Amino acid sequence: MKMDGGQALIRALELEGVDVMFGLPGGAILPVYDPIIDSSIRHILVRHEQGAGHMAEGYAHATGRPGVAMVTSGPGATNIVTPLCDAHLDSVPMVVITGQVPYAAIGTDAFQECDTTGITQSVTKHNFLVSEAQDIPRTIKEAFHIATTGRPGPVLVDIPKDIVDPDNPRSALEWTDDVEMDLPGYSPRTEVDPAAIAAAADLIRAAERPVLYVGGGILKARAAEALKELAELTGIHVVTTLMARGAFPDSHDLCLGMPGMHGNFTAVTAMQESDLLIALGARFDDRVTGRLDGFAQGAKIIHVDIDAAELGKVRRPDVAILGDCRVAIEALVSDLSSNGVGGADRGAWRSRVSGWQERFPLSYEQAQAGDALKPQMVIERLRDATPDDTIVASGVGQHQMWASQYWSFEHPYTWINSGGLGTMGFSIPAAIGAKAGCPDKMVWAVDGDGCFQMTAQELVTATVEKIPIKVALLNNSYLGMVRQWQEMFYDERYSEVFLSKDVPDYKGWAESMGCVAMRVDSPEEVDAAIAKANEVDDRPVVIDFRVTAAEKVYPMVPSGASNSELVVPPSQQDQPR
Amino acid sequence: MNEQQGSSGPAKHHVPDYRYHTLVVTVENKSGVLARLAALFSRRGFNIESLAVAPTDDERFSRVTVVVDLESAPLEQIIKQLDKLVNVVNIRELHPGHAVERELMIVTVAAGPDRRDELVEQLDRAGGKVLSVGADAMMLSLVGPPIRIDEFEELLGQYGIIELQRTGRVALANLDEND
Ligand SMILES: Cc1ncc(C[n+]2csc(CCOP(=O)(O)OP(=O)(O)O)c2C)c(N)n1
Ligand SMILES: [Mg+2]
């Protein structure tokens, strides 16, 4: 069948099962926007290309399917670099299509030309510059294959205008349904080495203080069920990193919650004191390990990862298992079921763990009558007033840590955040993408006032496209997380962290973007506002929660310190460790 | 890969008994692939000592011979990160002493008529060739194992090197090492 490159591109996306894409047109990508009118794919027009990228990420996080974004050349492409880097660090499957100047004009500094593949090389899993129309269907197939297999990640496809422009003979191609991929250098491995599994099972049987250290890879591998089976079979406690919140239910007896810089005392300390860390799809990030040479010094390591380069990158494992997390866990379960879970005595360990849980629960000082609103309390009320399977997307800062700490995650894929890159402004577009992918779920963005001002304009997109997300704005008038560091480590010298008490008028701003908006100043108003927000189903809602700026995120491992130097809230500082 | 390495503490640098290591990397013969390799080396802080690229007998692939500096990063990380590049098809480690390594040097040396005989005699012994002869200088070439090239380059110091170009090494595994 004869087609032009633009039609072929859209057809190829349809064949990949794309139902929604996010983008914004411009000169170089114009010809591809024409066939969208006749396509089954829903295109969501964003207000800034960064929004398109984070929406695609949010969609991918929530649905497990690759997110797709399309933007024009030059500034369109550079505006989406941040989401690409974000997706790269958090292993989010995403395909980004960028327009490019005509092939013959590349290198001439043509209008809106930039070296998109050069710029994005280090922030994508792979990228392509397509030179011939005939290569479009194959390249799209390869892009989706690379984005979704092995360790997932973002893939960019740069499309010169002449090969998609129906007025240009270079855009003509013969469409065939069966295109073969040509990727001789790409063959991710999923199966696992039985000898490594056996060695790992032996370590597990012998361990007296084992901890399952679970990272975002568990979610990418769709392995939450398998993990539960392994934990319950062995009775081993689980910590879920910031990227893995929800992979194991917070309400489960074996769940210790989040480890790391703002992890809770028990999760951090159990890892520190452990004799066996079973790392599943986790990468020993510095935010988790604290000072590396002080991290879990007495622990042996089993490390399961689909990316060989993670094995031994930071901490040398005693048993390295290369392959898919779910396959590995199932193999471990099968070994431990047939050969026994071992007779190691873990009684003393269990009582130490429960002692920590009793002495060092997550806590903050409750507000007294007349006190300002506490951000942690807002999260708790929101948690209690929303369904179990509510999707929470957060920004970056104190509010992110409180959301991760005080929410109770019961299901996988209900927590969406920017972990590796820590991108302020992530939450609103990510929530929109998640809601576009899961329209039947309630989606709340938990945002900070600093973050809100970076991407709030996407609420216009949400209104116009009828994507009714809800935003809990924890407005403390500050770049709060930075303020916290200045308070603790720079002698309370606050440099450039105060935003403003009165501008913008968030309620007025949100209303102008078509949202239902409320402002909450006191603790008594919280429940009613949330209840009202939960009633709205035809447009976005924003609640401006005016919270105190004085709260700090606890516990905290100061940067550069060992996890054993975890700072607990003042009320717990006299407790014996 | 390093048995002495304890299980606690960071995955410290593997301390190599040799500093440079040769990797033969087969890559897809596509535009931009060399840039990807170079970008990876710079982004991950891997230092390279030399790099030589040429097409192979199969036009779909090129072969890159790269000498990496193991003081900058452990060999295992370098290989694994390279392997993640989608256009990298195959990586082969060539252990020093188990490979045939060659390098080409061309050099212009200051040598007036009075010193030419001496220079040519040394060149003959090293197995090199005279490419051209000028009034006060000679242009020479020498192919050999990198260490021999080093030695010869040092020897030329006494004459005065005017201009020198080396290719960086290329290598193939010894015949009995081929698998
Ligand atoms: C794009 C970007 N710029 C700067 C930072 C550094 N940073 C991390 S948290 C933070 C403050 C965020 O402020 P806000 O959104 O109000 O959240 P809060 O900490 O007050 O809850 C800043 C500036 C970042 N993570 N991302
Ligand atoms: Mg703030």
Per-residue pLDDT of chain B (179 residues; tens, 9 = 90+): 333 333 444 444 444 457 888 999 999 999 899 999 999 999 999 999 899 999 999 999 999 999 999 888 899 999 999 999 999 999 999 987 788 999 999 999 999 999 999 999 999 999 999 999 999 999 999 999 999 999 999 999 999 999 999 999 999 888 876 54
The two three-digit tokens of residue A97, written as one number:
């299509």
pLDDT digits (tens, 9 = 90+) for A422-448: 999 999 999 999 999 999 999 999 999
Return the pLDDT at B5: 36
CA dist A295 and A183 (Å) reads 40
The amino acid that residue A411 corresponds to is H
Q: Parallel, antiparallel, or unpaired for β A94-100 and A67-71? A: parallel
Residue spans of the domains in chain A: they are 2-174, 194-359, 375-546
Q: Does the beta-carbon distance from A312 to B76 stay under 8 Å? A: yes
CA dist A302 and A323 (Å) reads 13
DSSP reduced 3-state for A304: strand
The two three-digit tokens of residue A77, written as one number:
């492409």
Question: Which residues are CB-contacts of B82 (< 8 A; sequence separation ≥ 6)?
Answer: B23, B25, B37, B40, B88, B91
Return the pLDDT at A407: 98
The two three-digit tokens of residue A98, written as one number:
């960028």
The two three-digit tokens of residue A564, written as one number:
């054993």
Q: A375-546 belongs to which CATH class?
A: alpha beta
Nearest chain B residue (CA) to A119: B39
CA dist A459 and A542 (Å) reads 9
The full DSSP string for B128-177 is -EEEEE-SSEEEEEEEE-HHHHHHHHHHHTTT-EEEEEE---EEEE-GGG
Query: Between helices A398-406 and A375-385, what is the axis angle to 10°?
Result: 40
Which parts of chain A sit beneath pLDDT 50? none
CA dist A323 and A190 (Å) reads 4
Residue pair A123/A84 in contact (Cβ under 8 Å)? The answer is yes
Q: Which residues in chain B are closer than 8 Å to A315, comparing Cβ atoms? A: 9-11
Q: What domains appear along chain B, each with residue ranges and CATH number?
A: 20-96 (3.30.70.260), 100-173 (3.30.70.1150)
Report whether the peptide linkage leading into residue A555 is cis, meaning its omega lies within 30 degrees of zero. yes
Q: What are the distances in angstroms from CA B43 to CA A89, A118, B25? A: 14, 13, 18
Q: What are the distances in angstroms from CA A477 to CA A155, A255, A400, A484, A502? A: 37, 34, 16, 13, 9
Q: Parallel, antiparallel, or unpaired for β A154-160 and A172-174? A: unpaired
Mutate to test the pocket of ligand 1, among A374, A394, A481, A551 (most ligand atoms within 8 A of CB): A481
Return the pLDDT at B96: 73
Query: Between helices A526-535 and A375-385, what is the axis angle to 10°?
Result: 40
CA dist A520 and A546 (Å) reads 6
Nearest chain A residue (CA) to B77: A309
Question: Which residues are CB-contacts of A159 (< 8 A; sequence separation ≥ 6)?
Answer: A5, A9, A29, A32, A97, A98, A99, A100, A130, A136
Centre of ligand 1 from the C-alpha of residue A449, in Å: 9
Residue pair A262/A553 in contact (Cβ under 8 Å)? The answer is yes
Q: Which atom of ligand 1 is nearest to the CA of A82?
A: 1
Q: Does the beta-carbon distance from A297 to B8 stay under 8 Å? A: yes
**How far A238 CA sits from the closest chain B CA (Å)?**
21
Q: Does the beta-carbon distance from B11 to A316 stay under 8 Å? A: yes
Q: Which one of B10, B36, B84 has the shortest CB-CB distance to A309?
A: B84
Q: Which atom of ligand 1 is nearest to the CA of A451?
A: 15
CB-based burial, A128-146: b 16+ in 10 Å, e otherwise:
bbbbebbbbbbbbbbbbbb
Centre of ligand 1 from the C-alpha of residue A544, in Å: 17
Nearest chain B residue (CA) to A130: B31
Q: Does the beta-carbon distance from A318 to B83 stay under 8 Å? A: no
The two three-digit tokens of residue A176, written as one number:
């065939």
- The torsion angles phi and psi of B25, rounded to 5 degrees, stand at -110, 120
CB-based burial, A460-476: b 16+ in 10 Å, e otherwise:
bbbbebebbbbbbbbbb
Q: Does the beta-carbon distance from B84 to A122 stay under 8 Å? A: no
Q: What share of chain A is helix, strand, coil (3-state, %, to 5)?
A: 40, 20, 40
Catalytic-residue membership of A424: no
The full DSSP string for A107-137 is TS--TT---HHHHHGGGSSEEEE--SGGGHH
B positions 40-79 inside 8 Å of A (CB): 43, 60, 76-77
Q: Which atom of ligand 1 is nearest to the CA of A423?
A: 26
Q: How far apart are the first and last CA of chain B?
A: 21
Give, using CA atoms, the residue closest to atom 11 of ligand 1.
Answer: A479
Report whether the peptide linkage leading into residue A504 is cis, meaning its omega lies within 30 degrees of zero. yes
Catalytic-residue membership of A111: yes
Task: Give the number of other CB atoms < 10 A from CB of residue B178.
Answer: 7
DSSP reduced 3-state for B48: strand
Centre of ligand 2 from the C-alpha of residue A577, in Å: 32
Residue pair A6/A34 in contact (Cβ under 8 Å)? The answer is yes
CB-based burial, A521-539: b 16+ in 10 Å, e otherwise:
eebebbeebbeebbeeeeb
Return the pLDDT at B6: 36
**Can A194-359 and A375-546 be said to share one CATH topology?**
yes
CA dist A470 and A59 (Å) reads 16
Domain A2-174, CATH: 3.40.50.970
CA dist A467 and B168 (Å) reads 59
ipTM of the predicted structure? 0.91
The two three-digit tokens of residue A250, written as one number:
């917070």
Q: Which fold has domain A194-359?
A: Rossmann fold (3.40.50)
Centre of ligand 1 from the C-alpha of residue A558, in Å: 17
Catalytic-residue membership of A545: no
Cα dihedral sign, A444-A447-A451-A454: positive
pLDDT digits (tens, 9 = 90+) for A334-363: 999 999 999 999 999 999 999 999 999 999
Residue pair A54/A83 in contact (Cβ under 8 Å)? The answer is yes
Catalytic residue among A1, A14, A111, A498: A111
Q: Does the beta-carbon distance from B28 to A184 stay under 8 Å? A: yes
The amino acid that residue A312 corresponds to is G
Ion ligand 2, residues whose Cβ is below 5 A away:
A 448-450, 476, 478, 480
Best mutation target among B8, B87, B89, B91 (most A Cβ atoms within 10 Å) is B8
